Amino acid sequence: MSTLVYIVDDDQMVLESLQWLLQTIKLEAKIFNSSTNFLKTYTPGTAICVILDVRMPDINGMDLHRRLKAIDAEVPVIIVTGHADVKMAVRAMKDGAFDFIEKPYAEQKMLERVQAAIHSRSSSEINEDNKRILSDKFDNLTSREKQVLTQILKDKSNKLIAVELDISKKTVEFHRGNLMSKLNVTTVAELVRFSIRAGVDPEF
């Protein structure tokens, strides 16, 4: 089995740092400082994972992701950005990204997500089991927590959510903290990933 991970980022220091990090778990990393160079070189089926930065001068990471999926639909892709928003995370996940990670990220977290991506091609039976587990977690939310979640996934601030639901901002913050704790997520990007994998439409 290949151990090759492709990394595309216009920041050379990020490329070299992530390349070194992956080598610590015996993964080979091929680095590219532009989307164009990556597309010229990439051969479908050679990578076990591709890591893309969003902000790049020639072709941005979101567009590169769509082009990559058109030529290699099976490869798991992790999109990384320092300028995340909910709509971007939803779009990336719906376009088939394995994960969407916000900078700065902990090195251990990146390694965990890369390893999860590598093992993501497991049997559909296992994936269905995981979906049921996630769905059960969602079902354990209270009706108010589900309402708050719906508004978060529409990229609304706590203040706007409070107006929409006719409750105080402090109450919104309370429910937001509870639902993220129950779902075991710490960022909005993780919340989007959870929702999509649980079968919850972020735009319902």
pLDDT tens column, 71-80: 998 899 999 9
CATH of segment(s) 4-121: 3.40.50.2300
Mean pLDDT of all residues belonging to the chain: 87
pLDDT tens column, 122-181: 544 445 556 777 788 888 999 999 999 989 988 899 999 999 999 999 999 999 999 999
Instruction: Say yes or no to pLDDT of 199 above 90.
Output: no
- Per-domain boundaries in the chain: 4-121, 124-197
Look up the CATH architecture of domain 124-197: Orthogonal Bundle (1.10)
**pTM value?**
0.79
Instruction: Say yes or no to pLDDT of 195 above 90.
Output: no
Instruction: Say yes or no to pLDDT of 30 above 60.
Output: yes
- Specify the length of the chain in residues: 204
- CB contact at 8 A, 52 and 76: no
Separation of alpha carbons 52 and 56, rounded Å: 9
- pLDDT more than 90, % of the chain: 56
Helix ranges, the chain (H): 12-23, 35-41, 61-71, 86-94, 107-118, 124-139, 143-152, 158-165, 169-182, 188-197
